[in-house]
Structure 1
Amino acid sequence: MNLAFYKSAPVILTAVLLLAACGNKQTQEKSATAVESAASTDTTTTTSKQITFTTDQYRLAGIETGKVEMRNLSSIIKLNGVIDVEPKSTAIVSAPLGGYIRTAGLLPGQAVKKGQVLATIENPEFITMQQEYLESKGRLQFLEQEYNRQQKLREEDVNAAKTFQQVASDYKVIQARISGLEQQLALAGISKSALQAGKITRTANLYAPISGYIKNSNVTIGKYATPTDALFEIINKNDIHLALNAYEKDLPKLQIGQTVKFSLANENNYDRTAKVFLIGQTTGDDRVVPVHCHLTNGANSGLLPGMYIKAWIETGAEKQYAIPSEALVQLEGKDYLVFQTEKSSDRYIFQLEQVKRGAEQEGYTAVTFPEGMDIQKVDVVVKNAYAILSALKNMEESE
């Protein structure tokens, strides 16, 4: 069978199905009678949504059937959200006193360690602060000696009380000034130990407050950074969790410790798990409640902060009639199943019936069937049901 046949297979299938729908009687030899009979059956049963396939049509469409099963399906709550990090695992780095940037930024995704130098800032005010600090330290040394001398004289009642009080006041003022300057130097990122050695610098370093990875870097050499500018954003992805959104109507069903099964937006298997550890106590304008979940061992493989996810939470299991989810087809916004009502050596008869969809879990969907149907005796089309639905639509349009 060559490539040309595969390319033309969809066209052949459509043509064959149209022949069945329209009741084309032009067949060869003895099959003419069978095809005519099938066409007649299709025409008379259109209102009950039935259609007949020949053996060749059945085989070409790749149809498979199966039985309805009783399965333990849980009532579930569907949620969506993102991969988030703990507040302690994210940090914004800025220049508290402002200044001109003198070093290049880091690339997003680059790993950094706590205390690592991220950038160098230059500011003329740094020189003034350091100068005042050194001058104040020198003044403190003098006032400390003067304070001790005046204190001894005062104990011997040699000097006036007013003189001692003035020296004590000057001593405390210079101590407060030095303490304030030390805090300013720490904010700027200037090492106090290096300054005490007499080295004045016009630059200061910005350090990483946590270990992690650079998420955003807004640093350009020569740019003036204000204290409000976010120069770096660091995230530690070793401490990630799920930040889900639940509708307020589902709140009574949510509990701490419940198991959550989730997957990425582009995945179909809900094979990752987490545990609910925090449920929000207020709703936002969108009427949703935040639900935070810790990942179980191994569930964080391949996950990055900011990824969108879909999830569901089990709220109780019970035995229900279920079919593979791919067996359900939709027509005009309603759910249907295709039943195989008859099978013989030369034909297959299918009937479309509306059903009510229930809980969906791990590839199976709970279904409520029409009243009076003997579930155990019917076969459900579980694969390529849409081929039959398309044939039905073509049959109705041709009439």
Structure 2
Amino acid sequence: MKNLYILLFTLVITACGNDKTNDTEVVKTETDSNDITVTKTQFESEKMVFGTLSEFDFSESIKVNGMIDVPPQNKSSVSTFIGGYITKTPLLIGDQVKKGELLVTLQNPEYVEIQQNYLEVAEQLNYLKSEFNRQKTLFDEEITSEKNYLKAESLYKSNLAHYNGLRKKLQMMNISPKRVEQGQISSSINLYAPIEGYVTKVNVSNGSFVSPSDVIMEIVDTDHIHLELSVFEKDIMKVKKGQKIRFKIPEASNETFGAEVHLVGTTINDKNRQVQVHGHVDNEKDNFIVGMFVEAEIISESARKMGLPKEALITLEDGSYVLVLVEEKDNTIYLEKIELNIGRTSEDAVEILNPEDLKNKQILIEGLGMLLSDSE
């Protein structure tokens, strides 16, 4: 009897162990299954859509940074040739100005002295010219000596050079020499806008003294906005004129803008080993401001490859998958999970390196939200 009890007890333990093993195998089989079922009601309510592999544009790009800028000829720093005190400055930062519009008025007694000197030289020039012509006539008739003739010629030409120099100086000061010759002497001068654009800097106020080395204000013409990008030495050989550029202004907008490589620098900055690349913006009418920081991608290579929209992917710890249609039966849609080999990516799509596994298959490309939440 003792041996019989021992045998029965051993059989019970063994049977319990087999039940646990079978339960584990069932759970494992369900967990490892790649089959997913969806009812037609769920399919329609989640707005699921089937699609197939298609061609997308995939590109290799070089990530760079830079800024919005304008060409040198579209930017002007206003200064004076002769120092003076500001008596009128009607403009503020942001004001639009036309070429030739009054910017500031300066005053200085030195302006009066220059005009006086010019007027004196102009009056003396008439006498010296007359004397030169008289001595020339006398010399030609052998009435006067060559010495007197050469002296008169020297005085006249020296005074003429002085006259022309002062005349040019007045013109640079925006003072009319003709008005000065008529006796109209002014103690102030005006500075006018050399280009059309917007005032971006004003460094003076009424009463302040400015010297020729001081920048009074800055004007920028924004009609031709461009990109100034910095490309590292290791990438510069991939950059060519005509390549497309995608860029964003991260501090101002999430929108992506387009541009094109126009010029590639030929020298490397010794400090940071970078080369300047100049790009033309596709739409210069966008609301860009000079000096904005940009993050850009220069498209160095582009090709059309087979791919899928990013929304079609299921990303798990062990890889990326898609769901393909197996069959529709009764009110149920049977799906199968297939692993993907991923290549290049774009903003909207991914390249599929194993397209033969998905050939002629219906792929679930929209409405995966419910399935993804269930898998989580």
Normalising by structure 2, we get a TM-score of 0.73
Encode CA deviations 1:261-291: one digit per residue, 9 max, x unaligned.
Answer: 4444354454x44332211112223233222
Matching residue of 1:317: 303
Partners of 1:125 and 1:387 in 2: CA distance? 85
CA distance in 2, matches of 1:195, 1:325: 78
Percent identity at matched positions?
29
Q: Distance in 1 between matches of 2:129 and 2:371?
A: 96
Residues 346-367 of structure 1: per-residue CA shift (max 9 Å, x gap): 9x99999897562424x22436
Contact 1:83 1:305 in 2 (8 A): yes
Unpaired runs of 5+ residues, structure 1, are 1-36, 393-399
Structure 1's 155 and 384: CA in aligned 2 closer, same or farther, altered over 3 A? farther
Report how far residue 90 of structure 1 moved. Answer: 1.0
Q: Secondary structure at the match of 1:179?
A: helix
Q: Which position in structure 1 is the counterpart of 2:184?
A: 199
Retained in 2: the 8 A contact 1:338–1:385?
no
Which residue of 1 is the match for residue 88 of structure 2? 103
**Higher mean C-alpha displacement, 127-136 vs 287-296:** 287-296
Tell me if structure 1 keeps the 8 A contact 2:233–2:275: yes
2:280 to 294, 300, 312: 294
2:195 is aligned to 210
Partner SS state of residue 223, structure 2: helix
Pairing of 1:244-263 with structure 2 (within 5 A): 244-263=229-248
Deviation at 1:322, TM superposition (A): 4.0
Asked whether the 8 Å contact 1:189–1:204 carries over to 2, the reply is yes
| Secondary structure in 1 matching 2:227 | strand
Aligned residue number for residue 76 of structure 1: 60
Q: Give the aligned partner of residue 128 of structure 1.
A: 113
**What is the deviation of 1:201?**
1.1
2:56 is aligned with what amino acid?
A: N
Q: Which amino acid aligns with 2:275?
A: V
Could you say what secondary structure the match of 2:88 adopts? coil
Larger Rg: 2
d(CA) in 2 for partners of 1:276, 1:134:
56
CA distance in 2: counterparts of 1:328 and 1:286, whole angstroms: 42
Question: The residue matched to 1:77 in structure 2 has which SS?
Answer: strand
Matched-pair contact (CA < 8 Å) for 2:324–2:361: no
Inter-partner Cα distance in structure 1 for 2:199 and 2:127: 48
1:93-151 Cα deviation digits (max 9, x unpaired): 01221111111241122111111110001112111111101001011111011111111
Aligned residue type for 1:71: E
The verdict on how the C-alpha distance between 1:131 and 1:264 changes in structure 2, with shifts beyond 3 A counting, is same
Which position in structure 2 is the counterpart of 1:151?
136
Work out the number of aligned pairs and report it: 342
When residues 171 and 82 of structure 1 are mapped into structure 2, their CA distance, relative to the original with a 3 A threshold, is same
Distance 2:305 2:321 in 1: 23
**Against the structure 1 CA distance between its residues 241 and 247, is the aligned structure 2 distance closer, same or farther, given a 3 Å change threshold?**
same
Decide whether the 8 Å contact of 2:314 with 2:372 is kept in 1: no
CA contact (8 A) 1:73 1:366 kept: no
CA distance in 1, matches of 2:320, 2:169: 73
Distance 1:150 1:260 in 2: 74
Which of residues 133, 154, 163 in structure 1 aligns to 2:148? 163
How is 1:223-242 mapped onto 2 (pairs within 5 angstroms)?
Answer: 223-242=208-227
Distance in 2 of aligned mates of 1:183 and 1:209: 18
Offset from partner CA, 1:201-260 (integer Å, 9 cap, x none): 111111111111111112200011121211111111112222233333333333222333
Q: Report whether the alignment pairs 1:113 with 2:119.
A: no
Structure-2 separation of matches of 1:103 and 1:386: 70
Q: Residue deviations 1:163-198, cap 9 Å, x none? A: 111111111111111122123223333222322221
Question: What letter is aligned with 1:74?
Answer: F
* Distance in 1, Cα, partners of 2:340 & 2:66: 33
Q: 1:33-72 maps to which residues of 2 (within 5 A)?
A: 69-72=53-56
TM-score by length of 1: 0.69
Distance 1:279 1:149 in 2: 65
1:326-365 matches, cutoff 5 A: 337=320, 358-361=344-347, 363-365=348-350
2:12 is aligned to none
Look up the equivalent residue of 2:55 and give its one-letter code: R
Give the letter for the 1:114 counterpart. K
